[in-house]
Structure 1
Amino acid sequence: MTGAPLPAGPLTAGPLTAGIELGGTKSIAVLARGPQILDRVRVATEDPETVLGGMMAALDGWQAAGAAIAGLGIASFGPLCLDPALPDFGRLTTTPKQGWAGTDLLAPFRRFGLPVALDTDVNGAALAEGRWGAAQGLSVHAYLTIGTGIGGGAVVNGRPLHGLMHPEMGHVRPASAPASGFAGICPYHGNCLEGLASGPAIAARTGRPAHEIGDDDPVWPMIADELATLIANLLLILSPQRILIGGGVGSRAVLLPHLRRATARMLGGYLAPVTPDALDRLITAPALGSDAGPLGAVALAEMAAAG
C-alpha cells in the first residue's frame, strides 16, 4: 500500500474501514481505523469510469494486502437519491458535474461484499466533525463547504439530516442580487450561492482565481454578505450550535470575520444567544481541516459496519 504514513502513537481502537470521498476536483479513497487514516489514494475527478475504477483498485489493493475491511462509506458531491424505496437509489441526479448525472455510485462496489453507506460529502464531513472534530458533544451542527461548489450538511442528534432528500444548501438564493450586477454561473439558478460565491463563480466575477485575490479585495465582503443569507437562515430554521466553514474558498482566513459581521447584521439582534462573542464560537473552521471530507466517508463506513 502507498499513501499517507501510519500516524504516530498507538492505533485507535475500532474496526478497519474504507472511505471514498468523491469531490468536485479530486476524489480520495482512504483506509482508516477510527479517525486515523492509514493509507490514501487520490485521483482527479474526471469521468465516472476512471474515478470509480481508481477507487475500486484501491480497495482491491488493500484487500489483497490482507486488510479486513468491516465497512465502506461513500461521501459524494450531489444531488443524490438516498431513498432505498426509489428506483434511482444510489445514483447522482441533477448534478451540474458534466458526465456524472445518473451515475450509479453503489453498483460498482457490490462485488466487495461489504456493508456500504452512501451520503453527501458535506453530510459526511458534518458527521466526522461531530465524532472527532469541532462539533463533538453538540446535538445540532452544520458544515458548509465553499470550493468548486457550495454545499451544506447537517447532523441532528448524531445522524445526518435527511427528509424529502438531503439538504442542498448551496442553491439558496441570497436576499438581494449582487450590486455588481453579476448574473451568476449556476446552470440551474444563475445567482444562487453556488453560482455567486463558489471558486469558479469568484473567478468569473473577478477574472482571477480565488487563491490569487488579496485579503483586502472588496470581493470578500460581498461574498460574505451573500453567504450570510444561508448562515442566518440556518440559525433561524435549524438552530445549530455550530456552523463549520470548510472548502478551498471557505478556508481563507479573511472570510470568517466578514461572515460573522454579515450574519450579525442580517439577524439584526433578534436571536439573543447570537452575540458577537458567541459568533466567534458559532461560525468556525473545521477542526479536521482538509481531512473532514475523507473522514466523513470513514464515519459513514463505521455506521455501515455497525448496521
Structure 2
Amino acid sequence: MTPPLVAGVELGGTKVFVLRARGTEIVERQLVPTTTPDVTLGAAREILTRWHAEEAFAALGIASFGPLRLDSNAGDFGRMLPTPKPGWSDTDIFGALAGALSCPAAIDTDVNAAALAEARWGAGAQGQEPFDCLCYLTVGTGLGGGFALNGKTLHGAMHPELGHIAIRRAKGDDFPGACPFHGDCIEGLVSGPALARRFGQPGDQIDAEDPRWDHVAHDLAQLVSTILLMTAARQVLIGGGVGMGRADLLDRVRAKVVAQLAGYLPFVTPDTIAAIVRTPALGDQAGPLGAVALALDALAERQGR
C-alpha cells in the first residue's frame, strides 16, 4: 500500500520549512525566511496550494514557534499569543495555512512536534517499545520544551513553557538575565541572545575553557533535573544551536545533573546519564518530521483510528 502524501510546515523564528512527505519520507522541501506574518505565511500558503493542486494532500501538520492557542474550543484557536517577536502576536497561523487546503490539519508547537517525532522514530524508539514520556528541549534564539506522553503531545490550559521556569542560581553568578518578561528565567540565562549578553560575544565564539560556562551548565542542569523530578521523563533531548553545537557543554550538564540530584532518582546514575540527557537522534530533522507526525495523526483522527 502506497503511504499517504502529507504536507508539513515547520515555522521557526528565522526560517520556515514547507515540505511534503510520503508517509515518513520527506520527498520535497522549500525554505521561506521568517519576516512579517503576511509575507511569510503568504509564501508558505502559495507553496502548499501549488503542491496540493498537483497532487492533493491527505493531511497537513503545522509545527510552529509559540506561544500558541491550542485549545480547539477557543475562539482564537491556532493563533499566536503575545510574543516578543515583532508583529506576530495574534497572527492566525492555523487559518492562514490550513484554510488553503481541503484536508484534515493539526497544529502544535515546534518542540512538542519534535518530541513526538523523536518518541516515534528517533531516540525514544530505539528499544522494543517507544518511550512513554520524552522531553525535547531546543536551546537557540530562545528556549522551548515539549513532551511526548504516551504517544501524544502534552497540552492543558496551554502547552509547556519550560523556557520561563525560574531555577536556583549558581553561587557567585550575578548575571541578571536577558528575558524581557522575567529577566533570569532559564531562557534569559542560556539562550543564544542571553549567552551573547553574558559573555559579550556570540556563544560559538567563546572558548570552551571559559569558566563562565560552568554557570551555564549549572543552569541547564537545574532545568533538566526539574524536568526529571516533575515528569519522570525517560529522556531529555537537548537540540538547537546551543544544545547541539557544544558537546563539551552537554558533558558538563550531565555531570551536574547527577550531582544536583544526589542519588535521589535511582534511574539517574553516572552510568545512565549519557543515555538520558543527549542530543536528538533525528538531529535537525526532528522539527520537520514533527510536522509530518502531526499530519499523520490528523489523518488517523479523521479516519477514526
| TM-score category, normalised to shorter length | over 0.9
- Aligned CA-pair RMSD: 1.5
Tell me the alpha carbon deviations over residues 67-124 of structure 1, each in whole angstroms, 9 at most, x when there is no partner. 2311111111111111122222111112221111111111112131121101000000
Contact 1:234–1:240 under 8 Å retained in 2: yes
Equivalent residue number for residue 151 of structure 2: 158
Tell me the alpha carbon deviations over residues 218-252 of structure 1, each in whole angstroms, 9 at most, x when there is no partner. 23322111111111111111001111110011002
Deviation at 1:47, TM superposition (A): 0.9
Deviation at 1:13, TM superposition (A): 5.2
Counterpart-to-counterpart distance in 1, 2:16 and 2:211: 32
Quick one: which of 252, 270, 275 aligns to 1:276? 270
What amino acid sits opposite 1:108 in the alignment? A
Pair 1:301 & 2:295 matched? yes
Contact 1:143–1:244 under 8 Å retained in 2: yes
Contact 1:174–1:227 under 8 Å retained in 2: no
Quick one: which of 199, 202, 209 aligns to 1:206? 199
Pair 1:248 & 2:241 matched? yes
Tell me the alpha carbon deviations over residues 172-215 of structure 1, each in whole angstroms, 9 at most, x when there is no partner. 11212673422111111111111111011111111211222232
Equivalent residue number for residue 4 of structure 1: none
Deviation at 1:270, TM superposition (A): 0.8
Contact 1:146–1:245 under 8 Å retained in 2: yes
Contact 1:140–1:239 under 8 Å retained in 2: yes
Quick one: which of 79, 82, 87 aligns to 1:94? 82
Equivalent residue number for residue 135 of structure 1: 124
Pair 1:179 & 2:168 matched? no
Tell me the alpha carbon deviations over residues 243-288 of structure 1, each in whole angstroms, 9 at most, x when there is no partner. 1110011002122111101111211111111111110110111111
Q: How does 1:24-43 map to 2 (within 5 A)?
A: 24-43=13-32
Pair 1:71 & 2:64 matched? no
Counterpart-to-counterpart distance in 1, 2:41 and 2:172: 42
Contact 2:173–2:215 under 8 Å retained in 1: no
Counterpart-to-counterpart distance in 1, 2:32 and 2:265: 44
Quick one: which of 45, 53, 65 aligns to 1:56? 45
What amino acid sits opposite 1:112 in the alignment? L
Equivalent residue number for residue 19 of structure 1: 8
What amino acid sits opposite 1:284 in the alignment? R
Counterpart-to-counterpart distance in 2, 1:266 and 1:165: 29
TM-aligned CA distance change 1:178 to 1:99, over 3 Å = farther
Counterpart-to-counterpart distance in 1, 2:169 and 2:148: 29
Counterpart-to-counterpart distance in 1, 2:256 and 2:170: 16
TM-score relative to the length of structure 2: 0.93
Counterpart-to-counterpart distance in 1, 2:52 and 2:257: 48
SS at structure 2 position matched to 1:29: strand
Pair 1:286 & 2:274 matched? no
SS at structure 2 position matched to 1:135: helix
Contact 1:177–1:191 under 8 Å retained in 2: no
Segments ≥4 residues shifted beyond 4 Å: none
Equivalent residue number for residue 144 of structure 1: 137
Q: Which runs of 5+ in 2 are unaligned?
A: none
Q: Which runs of 5+ in 1 are unaligned?
A: 1-11
SS at structure 2 position matched to 1:118: strand
Contact 1:152–1:168 under 8 Å retained in 2: yes
Counterpart-to-counterpart distance in 1, 2:253 and 2:23: 32
Q: How many residues align?
A: 295
TM-aligned CA distance change 1:219 to 1:46, over 3 Å = farther
SS at structure 1 position matched to 2:75: coil
Equivalent residue number for residue 8 of structure 1: none
What amino acid sits opposite 2:192 in the alignment? G
Pair 1:168 & 2:156 matched? no
Contact 2:45–2:100 under 8 Å retained in 1: no
Equivalent residue number for residue 114 of structure 2: 125
Counterpart-to-counterpart distance in 1, 2:30 and 2:193: 25
